[in-house]
Chain A
Amino acid sequence: MGFIIDRDLYVPAIDAWIDPSQPRPRAIVTHGHADHARAGHGAVLATPETIAIMKVRYGPDCAGRFEPLRFGEALDLAGARVSLHPAGHILGSAQVLIEAGGQRAVVTGDYKRLPDRTAETYEPVACDLLVTEATFGLPVFQHPRPEDEIGRLLKSVADQPERCHLVGCYALGKAQRVIALLRDAGWEKPIYLHGAMARLCALYEELGVPLGPLLPATGMPKAAMAGEIVIAPPSAIRDRWSRRFPDPVVCQASGWMSVKQRARQALVELPLVISDHCDWGELNQSIAESGAGTVWVTHGREDALVYWCRKQGLEAEPLALPGLDDDGGEGGE
């Protein structure tokens, strides 16, 4: 059976590429992470939030032209209909639905199903062909409740008031989500930010996601940072940058942190299992709910998910897409 998109995520009917890793005349971009959104395309079709994120990160002229498309609205092009549906991964993140010739194909991009007030809530989309990510595509990944993980962080802060907690987070999405979770758990004090976080936090607030008082982490006297929480990129928390803080507790918020040996390799003292991707059970659930008879599995641990799909009687195969995150980073950020 022929499909309306090919294995490079190219849609011939409208001459468009989904999340291409090289500059293309027309790109449909699922979300703003760097392994999905790149500068230099002729046209970018994405949600208004994703377009705003791309402009902040790559500059206002990072594409020849922008075609904003809101969730739920459909764009009828000659040959196919395109619509975007919430993926729940980060602000503006979308699943792409292509409809043509009586066939429905969904490319999930990165997605998660747990509620998160910094991203539009995931909606299942029925389709014939599902292209799903598999970042956490092994049954060892059973993500705990993020509220409980934030509870562990706050307990550690309360138990060790003389130390500063440095939470490693990717700058786009994870940082804002951790801040929102802290606020929802009742942490009202200022949260301190590494410089790399500031622009994107400001953008989230502009787009209607309140984050509470935020201050730059640098320039404070060392002693004043005891008992405080600092959000910084993972690369900074183990670097010289972190020496300005009193006896820091190195924390990292990531789905990978469920594997203790991974946390030890990364020299993380307090791993927080907070993921912006589906865990194994949620991947299984999403595939089943989509009703798709064919599943293509992209970046991550494809083997296990492909095996599982086939056991369910589905057609399934792994896609080897260039440039997508393989191992270790979350969302390539």
Chain B
Amino acid sequence: MKRFADLLELLALTPSRTRKIAALAQYFAEVPDPDRGLALAVLTGEMDISNVKPALLKETVLAEVDETLFALSYDYVGDLGETIALIWPHHGAGELPRLSELVALLNATSKAELPRVIGGLLTRAAIHERWALVKLATGALRIGISARLAKTALSRMSGVELQAIEEVWHGLKPPYGELFAWLEGRAGRPEIDHAARFHPLMLSNPVEERDFERLDPRDFAAEWKWDGIRVQLVLGRDGVSMFSRTGDDIARSFPDVVEAAMGRAVLDGELLVGHDFEARSFNDLQQRLNRKAASPRQMAELPGFVRVYDMLFDGDEDIRALGWEARRGRLEDWFARNPQTRLDLSEVLGFADWDALAALRRQGAESHGHEGVMLKLRTAPYVPGRPKGFWFKWKRDPNVVDAVLMYAQRGHGKRSSYYSDYTFGVWKGSEIVPIGKAYFGFTDEELRQLDRWIRANTVAAFGPVREVRKELVFEVAFDSAQKSGRHKSGVALRFPRINRIRWDKPAGEAARLEDVAALAGAT
């Protein structure tokens, strides 16, 4: 466990990506199975010690520490795991068991016994080991490590291509014995069930105005950029999977879509909700995304469908090496052979030149709320990752509104112990009603200034949330405004972010709800 704790600490504190990868690669090369596989599961978020929840850890600590002092400490530190590691009052001799034994112990211990067992472990652990122990037990790492970084380290350690690792990844389970055997040349590539297999997605780059000078419109096809979530449908021999862009299978939440899909293929598209292929707002989609299982009522009110724009496998044939145009042809033929009720084809937009497409993009944003347009090089193969020059997203210009800061909350992770999470509102008559919430996206210096302002202008505190004087104006950018019954103001902003702090602007000059609602009407 000490080795794993050392690794986590290094990952949390080393700013250099190269050094993180080197440390991970060294760990995977030197630590034996199954410990390294379990560490990999923790780092990639695949570990689940089902009985250990934050509430149970808190209960364990509160048996030893005064509740008020714990609350003040947690508010200051901003991270539950770290608060527990630092506040645990007992120090004992001894060493923690190795990672695999620790995981086995936690999994085998009954809920009633867990507080005693965890308390014993905390007492034996050094402080940074306690921190690692809590992170391990709850699965919430928050140290800025992506699964992709861990896989990159596996690639570095073995010389096997990252893509090859990602292709088998979703068919594997911790502690990944067969994966390490393959990476070390002791066994062949693991056999993966085709239907469970996720094929890494091809992603786009934002396009800048100046890029258009060197791009020929005849080389590109354009489609609407849909405001749903990206999915990969694997229509296999033994069943259907629907993967999110990070490879989670969300088929269970959308039985209406997967059960209606006909034919065999691997398809790339956008998951949306609405009747007769009329896409509704992202807010509506979110109501279904938040559920593990869909209720019949929800499926009737918000039926799901997938707007398909690409094809990776036609039946069993891998067609990713073909150009976009050829794949599009195969996709259209496949639709003709396999009539669908919950899948439709994404429309290809006709345009003569970039100016014409710009006009179309503006019109799409204003009258249909489209996020923008996608540009796809007609000859581009389907390449996982974010290859340069193949796919571009051309987003609509953001809307901007001046809103008044209402509440602030301490952030977590890198922003912990600063007030970095803000709720803001606009005028409705003579009162201010909230229209959204965003994190701060600017420099540390501005964050500090703002933090100071908030501490000096607090009028009330509700747990970690402070209500402030309604005096500070933020310029908030957002992609669109949507009608929402869940918000008191009746509107919800999509992708709000704080553009600037308007220290100069009086709150009385902030926007009125009518202005924002008018934008919502357009979408």
**Stretch in B77-85, B242-250, B509-517 touching the partner:** B77-85
Interface flags for A239-273 (1: CB within 8 Å of B; 0: not) read 00000000000000000001111111101111100
Q: Do A261 and B72 contact each other (CB < 8 Å), given the known contacts A141-B86, A271-B13?
A: no
Please state if A262 and B417 are interface contacts (CB–CB under 8 Å): yes
Q: Which of B1-17 contact A (CB under 8 A)?
A: 9, 12-15
Please state if A308 and B13 are interface contacts (CB–CB under 8 Å): no
Please state if B131 and A303 are interface contacts (CB–CB under 8 Å): no
Please state if A269 and B13 are interface contacts (CB–CB under 8 Å): yes
Could you list 10 examples of A-B contacts with CB < 8 Å? A138-B69, A138-B72, A140-B87, A259-B417, A261-B77, A261-B78, A261-B414, A265-B418, A301-B76, A307-B69
Q: Could you say which residues of chain B place their CB within 8 Å of the CB of A269?
A: 13-15
Which one of B13, B66, B415 contacts A268 once the chains associate, using CB atoms below 8 Å?
B13
Please state if A142 and B15 are interface contacts (CB–CB under 8 Å): no
Q: Could you say which residues of chain B place their CB within 8 Å of the CB of A262?
A: 417
- Minimum C-beta distance from B201 to chain A (A): 30
Which one of A260, A268, A271, A303 contacts B82 once the chains associate, using CB atoms below 8 Å?
A260
CA distance A260 to B127 in the complex (A): 11
Q: Could you say which residues of chain B place their CB within 8 Å of the CB of A308?
A: 69
Which one of B13, B86, B87, B127 contacts A264 once the chains associate, using CB atoms below 8 Å?
B13
Interface flags for A131-143 (1: CB within 8 Å of B; 0: not) read 0000000111110
Q: Could you say which residues of chain A place their CB within 8 Å of the CB of B127?
A: 142, 144, 258
Q: Could you say which residues of chain B place their CB within 8 Å of the CB of A157?
A: none
Q: Could you say which residues of chain A place their CB within 8 Å of the CB of B413?
A: 261
A304 within 8 A of B: yes
- Minimum C-beta distance from B141 to chain A (A): 12
- Minimum C-beta distance from B414 to chain A (A): 6
Please state if B414 and A259 are interface contacts (CB–CB under 8 Å): no
- Minimum C-beta distance from A229 to chain B (A): 18
- Minimum C-beta distance from B295 to chain A (A): 40
Q: Could you say which residues of chain A place their CB within 8 Å of the CB of B86?
A: 140-142, 258-259
Q: Which of A136-179 contact B (CB under 8 A)?
A: 138-142, 144
Please state if B72 and A264 are interface contacts (CB–CB under 8 Å): no
Q: Could you say which residues of chain B place their CB within 8 Å of the CB of A259?
A: 77, 82, 86, 417
CA distance A160 to B12 in the complex (A): 18
Q: CB-nearest residue of chain A relative to B447?
A: A265
Please state if A270 and B72 are interface contacts (CB–CB under 8 Å): no
CA distance A259 to B72 in the complex (A): 15
CA distance A265 to B412 in the complex (A): 11
Q: CB-nearest residue of chain B relative to A307?
A: B68
Instruction: Enumerate the 7 nearest inter-chain pairs by beta-carbon distance, A residue then B residue, closest first.
Output: A140-B86, A261-B416, A140-B73, A304-B72, A140-B87, A138-B73, A139-B87
Q: Could you say which residues of chain A place their CB within 8 Å of the CB of B15?
A: 267, 269
Q: CB-nearest residue of chain A relative to B19?
A: A269
Interface flags for A67-88 (1: CB within 8 Å of B; 0: not) read 0000000000000000000000
CA distance A259 to B89 in the complex (A): 16
CA distance A268 to B10 in the complex (A): 11
Q: Which of B73-106 contact A (CB under 8 A)?
A: 73, 76-79, 82-83, 86-87, 89
B299 within 8 A of A: no
Please state if A270 and B13 are interface contacts (CB–CB under 8 Å): yes
Q: What is the total of A-B residue contacts with beta carbons within 8 Å? A: 69
CA distance A242 to B49 in the complex (A): 44
Q: Could you say which residues of chain A place their CB within 8 Å of the CB of B73?
A: 138-140, 304
Max chain B Cβ within 10 angstroms of own Cβ: one of A142, A259, A260, A268:
A260
- Minimum C-beta distance from B61 to chain A (A): 11
CA distance A258 to B73 in the complex (A): 13
Please state if B89 and A264 are interface contacts (CB–CB under 8 Å): no
B65 within 8 A of A: yes
Q: Could you say which residues of chain A place their CB within 8 Å of the CB of B82?
A: 259-261
Which one of B13, B65, B72, B76 contacts A263 once the chains associate, using CB atoms below 8 Å?
B13
- Minimum C-beta distance from A217 to chain B (A): 22
Please state if A140 and B13 are interface contacts (CB–CB under 8 Å): no
CA distance A75 to B68 in the complex (A): 43
CA distance A307 to B444 in the complex (A): 32
CA distance A317 to B13 in the complex (A): 38
CA distance A249 to B348 in the complex (A): 53
Which one of B76, B415, B416, B418 contacts A138 once the chains associate, using CB atoms below 8 Å?
B76
CA distance A142 to B417 in the complex (A): 19
Q: Could you say which residues of chain A place their CB within 8 Å of the CB of B415?
A: 265
CA distance A141 to B87 in the complex (A): 7
User: Given A260-B82, A261-B77, A301-B76, 9 other A-B contacts at CB below 8 A?
Assistant: A142-B127, A261-B417, A264-B414, A265-B414, A265-B444, A267-B15, A304-B69, A304-B72, A307-B72
CA distance A307 to B65 in the complex (A): 14
- Minimum C-beta distance from B84 to chain A (A): 9
Q: Which of B264-303 contact A (CB under 8 A)?
A: none
- Minimum C-beta distance from A220 to chain B (A): 24
Max chain A Cβ within 10 angstroms of own Cβ: one of B9, B14, B77:
B77
Q: CB-nearest residue of chain B relative to A303?
A: B72
Which one of B70, B89, B131, B444 contacts A260 once the chains associate, using CB atoms below 8 Å?
B131
Q: CB-nearest residue of chain B relative to A266?
A: B444
Q: Could you say which residues of chain A place their CB within 8 Å of the CB of B13?
A: 260, 263-264, 268-271
Q: Could you say which residues of chain A place their CB within 8 Å of the CB of B14?
A: 269
- Minimum C-beta distance from A273 to chain B (A): 9
CA distance A258 to B79 in the complex (A): 13
CA distance A269 to B70 in the complex (A): 28
Please state if B77 and A140 are interface contacts (CB–CB under 8 Å): yes
Q: Could you say which residues of chain B place their CB within 8 Å of the CB of A138?
A: 69, 72-73, 76
Q: CB-nearest residue of chain B relative to A258?
A: B86
Q: CB-nearest residue of chain A relative to B418?
A: A265
Please state if A139 and B131 are interface contacts (CB–CB under 8 Å): no
CA distance A268 to B14 in the complex (A): 8
CA distance A303 to B72 in the complex (A): 8
Q: Which of A249-305 contact B (CB under 8 A)?
A: 258-265, 267-271, 301, 303-304
Q: Could you say which residues of chain A place their CB within 8 Å of the CB of B72?
A: 138, 301, 303-304, 307
Q: CB-nearest residue of chain B relative to A311?
A: B66
CA distance A140 to B14 in the complex (A): 23
Q: Which of B384-420 contact A (CB under 8 A)?
A: 413-418
- Minimum C-beta distance from A283 to chain B (A): 12
Q: CB-nearest residue of chain A relative to B142?
A: A261
Q: Could you say which residues of chain B place their CB within 8 Å of the CB of A270?
A: 13
Q: Could you say which residues of chain A place their CB within 8 Å of the CB of B76?
A: 138, 140, 301
